[in-house]
Amino acid sequence: MRRYHLVRRADSQLKRTLIYYAAGILISLAIGAVILACLEINPFEYYGRMFTIGLIGNRYGYKSIEGLLKIFVPLLITSLALSLSFKMRFWNIGGEGEFLIGAICASCIAFNSTGMPNFVTVILMCIAAMLSSGIIGIAIAALKVKFNTNETLMTLMINYIMLYVIRYLGDTKAPWNFFLRADSERPIFGSFPESAVMKGIPLGPFTLLWSVLISIILTVIVYVYLKYTKQGYEISVVGDSSATAKYAGMGVGKIVLRTMFISSAMIGLAAALTVSAAGTISDTITNDVGWTGIIVAWLSKLSVPAVFVTAVLISILQYGCQAAATQYPAIDINYADLLQGIILFSVLVADFAANFKIVRKEDAKNA
Amino acid sequence: MLDVFTLFLFNIIVYNIPLLYGTTGEIMIEKSGSLNLGVEGTMAIGAVVGYLAGAKTDSLLVAVLVSFIASGLVGMLFSFLTVTLQANQNVTGLTITTFGVAFYYFIGNALSNSAGGWPSLNGTRLDAQSQSLEIPLLSKIPFFGKAIFSHGILVYLGIVIAVLMWFYFKKTVPGLKLRAIGENPAAADSLGVNVALYKYTHIIIGSGIMGIGGLYMGLNMGGTFEGSNCWINGYGWISIALVIFANWSPAKALLGTLVFGFFNTLRVQNAALAYAFPNALGWLLKIPSHFFSALPFIITLIVLIISSLSSKSRSGEPQAIGRNYYREDR
């Protein structure tokens, strides 16, 4: 007989969860420090440099903020989009693929936009990307609703198919291929004409790109949508139990299709904003947001304000590692991924500790 | 001309073996009702750790054991998080992939930048050239002999594992119990099967098998560390796809890896084939290599759709896959 067993805590206190999470993150950073010490690097100096993302003692500090925001915007929007579908228990792990198809379609417009007004071009790029990504999402949702096709594996396959599509575009020199630079013998992705490059509000030397504002407005919209609208309520009911939703007279299929369209269209939007801000496209344009977004959504327990905070922290982690790499050539961006993995592992443990408790058999009987 | 043909057959086997390890490992895990999306990362860790141990000790046996143990530990982490702590399987698996691939780059780059440098395999017994094991008589068969019976020992080990696993699932009592857990853990539990123990054991063994596949890929890279493109190069994901293609059967996984290996070989060798047979196979040059790379994923997509259209009864998919088992939720 087992003398101890697990009981799910009846209440879930925010304070306790936060304390456990903070402890988990601190332990992960400590493990990271041990790894650094093994490589004979002073962890305090390294972390200091990482968390200040190269701002201190840098005359061009605003460049760091711009670089950070370029990582942050796509990550935030993708994480929000993924948490929408995860809330419904729909495992959209095709963020990478949906991002890539959006990026390709937005670039189709961008490369052919010479002479068009900037505002119109960027809006057209966003619409093209949202439609193309949304169609992929709705197609997979339709298969799930109609035939119960496994959406986890379907979206996974889309990621790789799209990756090879963009690699094909990037490697194939042909008269029809307007994605490549015309003046180069070797196949290289071209730069967008000026009309397709994201503009912003100049604040001294610093430029606040429109995409940053759009992403923040979008966060507020998603928060309101989930919290105060009927559709948002339907999503959480379907996620809790699709049987309950059915008995309550909700059209579960319709909700799944609609939410998946919104979710993947948002990822498409993230892609359009990213290519426009970068002024070009490449097969690494996603910067793995499809994968990191899943981690962000999960770390934040699918809550919108938490997604915002987590996306900020993960962006600092990633950009900070890039910034610190100039001082420490042995430690590159992979350290950020390594640390991200360790953080998620410990937060999963912390999450368990916050939601379950171990009780002895006798106690359980008395309770 | 015959050389091209023999080389083609030879390479099909070289390309399919890591897939076979990854696929059989994942089948073992999925049969216990867990979906582990961390194949890529598990293979990467097994590859780099096993390689380093092998290069240090100059022993293939040590390399295989170490990569099995290293990847087995990753499997233990996965089972601890998902079986004991009830963490979500998709998220845990994806994190293992992120972590494992980053671990590969991190260790590799750190070693390459260190004073000693990355250990090469030159002159060791692990060198790909000296690994090959010609099976007497069989390897002398014209045409096929050299292509099929003159590989490294890890190729044969992979096939043996697949056959043993098929036998284990079909003919033994623990195999039957395992399948029962994958279909309905609550029912298996009520019959006295220790669900957690079975899940732990099989996830660890399955992950260890994947690790050997990763090691095999690492040993085939000529002893250099790939700093820009991971050794595993998406094979972990193809393995997950292959599990579906093979309908969760280790025997069909053998066949499936041959099919996927065929396309993979076509990608590398389509030019050689087209030049050897310009009339019959000249059209191969017109197909972009990216298409062959994407083909495993396209095929799996189609298989997924078709199998969901047809009746569920013949599918080998464990019914409880992806869902954690928590006794008190019954």
Question: Which CATH number fits the domain that encloses residue A267?
Answer: 1.10.3470
Chain A within 8 Å of B115 (Cβ-Cβ)?
no
Give the Cα separation of A321 and A337 in Å (integer).
10
pLDDT at A367: 46
User: What is the nearest CA distance from B315 to chain A, expressed in angstroms?
Assistant: 13
DSSP reduced 3-state for B5: helix
pLDDT at A57: 67
Residue A57 lies in a domain: no
Question: Where does A54-173 have alpha helices with state H?
Answer: 61-87, 95-111, 118-147, 151-171
* Same domain as A144, residue A290: yes
Q: Is the pLDDT of residue A9 over 90?
A: no
Does A147 sit within 8 Å of B87, measured CB to CB?
no
Token pair recorded at residue A31: 């493990």
* Same domain as A166, residue A183: yes
Pairing of strands A200-203, A356-360: unpaired
Residue A149 lies in a domain: yes
* Same domain as A242, residue A361: no
Give the one of A93, A161, A171 whose C-beta lies nearest to B298's C-beta: A161
* Same domain as A177, residue A315: yes
How many contacts does A have with B, using Cβ atoms within 8 A?
A: 128
Give the one of A171, A338, A352 whose C-beta lies nearest to B99's C-beta: A338
Q: Spell out the per-residue pLDDT of chain B, length 330, in tens.
A: 457 777 777 878 877 888 899 999 999 999 999 999 999 999 999 999 999 998 888 888 899 999 999 999 999 999 999 998 888 898 899 999 999 999 999 888 888 887 777 888 777 777 665 566 666 666 666 666 666 666 778 888 999 999 999 999 999 999 999 999 999 999 999 988 999 999 999 999 999 999 999 999 888 877 778 777 788 888 898 899 889 888 899 999 988 888 888 887 887 777 777 777 777 777 777 788 888 888 888 988 998 888 888 766 567 788 888 788 887 765
pLDDT at B1: 47
DSSP line for B112-168: HHSSS-PPP-TTSTT-HHHHB-PPTTGGGSTTHHHHHSS-BHHHHHHHHHHHHHHHH
* Same domain as A346, residue A235: no
Task: Tell which B residues from 299 to 328 touch A, by Cβ distance under 8 Å.
Answer: 300-301, 304-305, 308-309, 322, 326, 328
Chain B within 8 Å of A308 (Cβ-Cβ)?
no
Q: Is the pLDDT of residue A282 over 50?
A: yes
* Same domain as A263, residue A193: yes
Give the one of B94, B298, B305 whose C-beta lies nearest to A291's C-beta: B94
Task: Tell which B residues from 146 to 205 touch A, by Cβ distance under 8 Å.
Answer: none
Which structural domains are found in chain B, ordered by start? Answer: 2-134+144-325 (1.10.3470)
Give the one of A148, A165, A352 whose C-beta lies nearest to B87's C-beta: A352
Among A176-180, A257-261, A356-360, the minimum mean pLDDT is found in A356-360
Chain B within 8 Å of A161 (Cβ-Cβ)?
yes
User: What is the nearest CA distance from B205 to chain A, expressed in angstroms?
Assistant: 21
Tracing tokens 């096929």 back to the chain, one arrives at B144
User: What is the nearest CA distance from B22 to chain A, expressed in angstroms?
Assistant: 16
* Same domain as A140, residue A127: yes
* Same domain as A132, residue A207: yes
Domain that holds residue A285: 64-327
* Same domain as A138, residue A21: no
By the 8 A CB rule, do B217 and B18 touch?
A: yes
Give the one of B98, B110, B305 whose C-beta lies nearest to A291's C-beta: B98
Residue A59 lies in a domain: no
Tracing tokens 């078709």 back to the chain, one arrives at B306
Give the one of A149, A161, A348 whose C-beta lies nearest to B305's C-beta: A149
By the 8 A CB rule, do B188 and B199 touch?
A: no
Chain A within 8 Å of B112 (Cβ-Cβ)?
no
Q: Tell me the per-residue pLDDT of A73-91, one tens digit each, with 9 for 90 and over.
A: 999 999 999 999 999 989 8
Comparing alpha-carbon positions, the chain A residue that sits nearest to B245 is A153
DSSP reduced 3-state for A290: helix
Residue A314 lies in a domain: yes
The amino acid sitting at A333 is I
Token pair recorded at residue A148: 């119960």
By the 8 A CB rule, do A323 and A49 touch?
A: yes
Does A337 sit within 8 Å of B237, measured CB to CB?
no
The amino acid sitting at A292 is T
Q: How many CB atoms lie within 10 A of CB A165?
A: 18
Strands (DSSP E) contained in chain A are 4-8, 200-203, 206-209, 356-360
Residue A50 lies in a domain: no
Residue A208 lies in a domain: yes
Give the Cα separation of B103 and B49 in Å (integer).
10
Chain B within 8 Å of A352 (Cβ-Cβ)?
yes
Give the Cα separation of A279 and A197 in Å (integer).
5
Number of domains in chain A: 2
User: What is the nearest CA distance from A207 to chain B, expressed in angstroms?
Assistant: 32
Pairing of strands A356-360, A4-8: antiparallel
Global pTM reads 0.89
Cα atoms in the 13 Å half-sphere on the side-chain side of A145: 18
Select from A91, A136, A160, A356 the residue whose CB has the most chain B CBs within 10 Å, as the one to mutate to test that interface. Answer: A160
* Interacting residues of A71 by C-beta distance below 8 A, sequence separation 6+: A287, A315, A318, A319
Residue A1 lies in a domain: yes
Does A8 sit within 8 Å of B328, measured CB to CB?
yes
Residue A47 lies in a domain: no
Token pair recorded at residue A254: 């319709």
pLDDT at B284: 73
pLDDT at B132: 66
Does A351 sit within 8 Å of B291, measured CB to CB?
no
Select from A8, A85, A156, A286 the residue whose CB has the most chain B CBs within 10 Å, as the one to mutate to test that interface. Answer: A156
Q: Is the pLDDT of residue A364 over 80?
A: no
User: What is the nearest CA distance from A116 to chain B, expressed in angstroms?
Assistant: 34
* Same domain as A242, residue A154: yes
* Same domain as A191, residue A248: yes
Report chain A residues whose CB lies below 8 A from the CB of B308.
143, 147-150
Chain B within 8 Å of A142 (Cβ-Cβ)?
no
Does B301 sit within 8 Å of A161, measured CB to CB?
yes
Tracing tokens 């937005």 back to the chain, one arrives at A106
Report chain B residues whose CB lies below 8 A from the CB of A337.
98-99, 101-102
* Same domain as A160, residue A35: no
Does A150 sit within 8 Å of B308, measured CB to CB?
yes
